[in-house]
Amino acid sequence: MTPPRSLVPPPTDATHPIWDRTRVVAREVLSTLRTGLLPLARLRALPSPDPRPELRPVVLVHGFLGHPEMFRPLTWRLLEEGFPQVVRVAYPSTRLHLEEIVEEIAARVADLGHRRKVDLVGHSLGAVACRAWLKAFGGAKHVERFVSLGGPHAGTSFYRLVPRPLRPAMDPRGPWVQRLSEGREPVPTVVIRARYDHQVFPPQRGAIPGAREVVLHGFGHNGLLWSPEAHDAVIQALTEELPDDPGAA
């Protein structure tokens, strides 16, 4: 049975799971290669937005071993859709504790100097840090909506592969998983995750109880950053009518 607050697009090749997984691997390799070429993308300027007054600035937070340029494809789409400003948070993901990443997010939002709230989108570790800021450090008063892209909110079986400062945030039995599981989400939240995520394992650990989900087929963890379907889901989450329940969108 499909969970209530879930939007799970059916795979076009549901009868061929081996092909589905093969396609994910191929797209993950391609995503890695494209990411390595992203510095060349700076030669082409981002589009100038034609701001829509009902939309808010968007703050993007990358994940472990990531960098702000990984959000360039999504940034392009958001600006074309009329979001007035897109800001990408940069931080050294291999050296900081989760609390220090949260400080980087809070400082970047404060630098914007906006009186109005912003929308927040985090990928992987960045999604966990965004959620920690919202639930444990008062960030909710600055944020209208939150979108998680492939965030390991219930940890990952591969947590021992990350540097020690990050293990408390990635360990399924760690303190941050427990702390963030308590209580309702303070702002409308949507989870976008890959059915075959090889880094958030098992992939169901990317879910947030009570939040609507979009589960994409044919994409892996980093493929979410390049997927037009994922970009469409992000834009929908940031523009659709808000529900009465703040924990669901």
Q: What angle do CA 55, 207, 109 make, to 5 degrees?
A: 35
pLDDT > 90: percent of the chain: 64
Sorting pLDDT into bands at 50, 70 and 90, what band is 19? low
pLDDT digits (tens, 9 = 90+) for 117-145: 999 999 999 999 999 999 999 999 999 99
Gap between the Cα atoms of 249 and 242, Å rounded: 6
In Å, how far are 86, 92, 158, 171, 209 from 155, measured between CA atoms? 28, 20, 9, 5, 14
Gap between the Cα atoms of 74 and 54, Å rounded: 19
Q: Domains of the chain, with CATH numbers?
A: 56-239 (3.40.50.1820)
In Å, how far are 97, 139, 165 from 168, measured between CA atoms? 9, 21, 7
Tokens of 104: 């980087």
Query: pLDDT higher for 83 or 241?
Result: 83
Sorting pLDDT into bands at 50, 70 and 90, what band is 7? low
Helix (H) or strand (E) holding 144: strand 143-149
- Rounded mean pLDDT, 212-229: 91
Q: What is the pLDDT of residue 12?
A: 44
In Å, how far are 152, 183, 207 from 202, measured between CA atoms? 9, 23, 11
Is the pLDDT at 248 greater than 70, yes or no?
no
Is the pLDDT at 68 greater than 60, yes or no?
yes
Gap between the Cα atoms of 209 and 185, Å rounded: 9
**Is residue 193 a contact partner of residue 211, using CB atoms and an 8 Å limit?**
no
Is the pLDDT at 167 greater than 70, yes or no?
yes
